[in-house]
Amino acid sequence: MEFTLLILLLPIVLFLILGLAGHKMKPLFAGLVGTLGMLTITVLAYFTAYKYFFVEGKVGGVFQELIPFSFEWLRFTDNLHIDLGILLDPISVMMLVVITTVSLMVHIYSLAYMQGEKGFQRYFAYLSLFSFSMLGLVVATNIFQMYIFWELVGVSSYLLIGFYYTKPSAVSASKKAFIVTRFADLGFLLGILVLSYYTGTFDFGQLTADHASLVVNSTAGASFMGLSIASLAMALIFMGGAGKSAMFPLHIWLPDAMEGPTPVSALIHAATMVVAGVYLVARLFPVYFFAAPDILNMIAYIGAFTAIFAALIAITQTDIKRVLAFSTISQIAYMMVALGVSGYGDHDGLGYMASMFHLFTHAFFKALLFLGAGSVIHAVHSNEMKDMGNLRKFMPITHITFLIACLSIAGIPPFSGFFSKDEILAAAFHHDKFLFASLWIVAGLTAFYMFRLYFNIFWGKTKEYAGAHKPHESPWQMSFPLLFLAFLSIVTGFIPFSSFVSTDNIGFDAHIDWSIAASGIGVALLGIAGAVVLYMKGGDKPAELAKSFGGFYTATLNKFYLDEVWMFITKSIIFKWICMPIAWFDKNVIDAAFDALASITQKIAYAIRGFQSGQIQFYAWVFVVGTLAIATYALLNE
């Protein structure tokens, strides 16, 4: 399967072509080059999935780890070296399909959505770089290769979020995303260094083989401040994943990332950057489970808190893209909880399978939600719900597809979100009833805030839209991705996912536990019913209800003031009490010491400059005086 190398080469070639020569192309031509290139990559990814899952990948009932391409890049010791290659296994192949599918839909959608924008060619170059970065991340054969592409994803997101570089809020958002994730990635890098120091390898195959025995044995008995080295390393690595996947308290960059173009939001939230943290934990799951189970349990509780926290904030937001941003944080947290509660092997690994299944289905319905939101914004030229209403009459395709996505994320059968979310609830129920209760509440909140969004956009009273231009359905370049993603949001739940993805790469049969599923459906319907009562016909009920919650409503509306807390920490503590003293010491001690050394050297040089005057008479006089001094010294010491 050496052809899989093309999946990585094509997007970077597209980036170079569009980045270096795009300005010489007509915008539409540049867009078509990027889109047709991504279509080719998508076809290759689907062919790879077919060959892996149905032809070459399964041997003796076990899906194998195939490395069709690899070469040594850097060697440190006989055992420790960094390779660059391609690893094909169930989760990496699944991610190839997810990334390329969503990226292709975003490319097609952008042909119309971004039409007329300054920097159109540059935009498509950035999309290619982003796709290359994420594809390289998921097929990495070792953790250091993953880290390289991990950082490229960060650079790509910085470029795309800040695409509107003349807009101060977009520039600020791109810097915020970059800085917060870099802070988290420092932990990731330290974790890699600690893990590789003890194990002597970066290779995923060696780290996870035989129930992560290499990690368990090499770190046995080693500890730091009461924490085992294995736990310390895996906690630091998770810190990087928490930053990328916007787990509390490192979630603050994601809502602001909405300042980028809406198709970019779909790409970041659905298939690339935000799911990277989940993928990282899944890739190293055997290490977490066997070597650091305490950290895996911590991940579950962080995920549960983040899911509730983000869902509560989503209920009160009025910008439709920010509602979806907090929805993403909540859903990604769902996936983290599923990994945290998972066992290993066969049905015990239900949580792992459910997490990957929900990542798969979520990619399509969340991309659909963002692209549907973009279609609405394109029609009414506003992100705010107050500027929308009764749009179902003007935008039938957007309306129906958005409804399908809402039903899917709410977990209503037979839409895909029901099947994946039900498996997560089942895994949590059998592991920890408290975590199950948390996720069950989040399921109800999710249904409520999504249908609050749906009714505020497509129902209620018809607005007096500005000017004579009435809202209308988006062009086919935007409608086609909506219809295709809606189709996937319906059918992907019926894929027997557990037959392909599991902790030990041996498929198993997963069945719906209807007692748990019924409770999930019930709370979702309750959430939808609440949204119907409050928002379907409009009116003053929502405002009255918000007023009754008083300070709690205000806190959720202001995102629990976490941005303000972080600003206080950075400005009033880190900058004032750490950075400023260091800057003072650097300027007044280190710089001053070297300035004094330079000054003394200069004065001495000035004082003795006559010794290099170029005057022969002076040199002769010095020579004679020196000779006499030496002779006198010699005579006196005989």
* 511-520 pLDDT per residue, tens: 888 899 999 9
Mark out the alpha helices in 381-432 (DSSP H runs): 396-409, 416-431
Q: 389 versus 102: which is more confidently predicted?
A: 102
Q: What is the pLDDT of residue 468?
A: 47
Give residue 638's pLDDT band: very low, low, confident or very high (50, 70, 90): low
pLDDT (mean) for 469-479: 85
Residue 466: how many CA atoms within 13 Å on its side-chain side?
7
* pLDDT of res. 406: 95
Q: Is residue 53 predicted with pLDDT exceeding 90?
A: yes
Per residue in 108-145, pLDDT tens?
Answer: 999 998 888 888 899 999 999 999 999 999 999 999 99
pLDDT of residue 469: 66
Does the pLDDT value for residue 614 go beyond 90? no
Summarised one tens digit per residue, pLDDT across range 12-38 is 999 999 999 888 889 899 999 999 999
pLDDT at site 384: 87
Contact 125, 19 (CB under 8 A): yes
Mean pLDDT of 150-161: 92
| Tens of pLDDT, residues 540-593 | 788 888 888 888 988 988 888 888 888 888 888 888 888 889 999 999 999 999
Mean pLDDT of 72-97: 89
Half-sphere exposure at residue 267, Cβ-oriented, CA atoms within 13 angstroms: 31
pLDDT at 467: 55
Q: How far apart are CA 224 and CA 227, in angstroms?
A: 5
pTM exceeds 0.75 for this model? yes
Average pLDDT over residues 50-75: 90
> Would you say 329 and 312 are in contact if contact means Cβ atoms under 8 Å apart?
no
Average the pLDDT over 414-420 and give the result: 93
Q: Are strands 58-59 and 62-63 parallel, antiparallel or unpaired?
A: antiparallel
% the chain with pLDDT above 70:
99
Instruction: For residue 249, say if its preceding peptide bond is cis, omega within 30 degrees of 0.
Output: yes
Q: Which residues pair with residue 227 across a beta bridge?
A: 224
pLDDT for position 626: 87
Give the pLDDT of residue 480: 94
Reported as type and span, the H/E element at residue 195 is helix 168-199
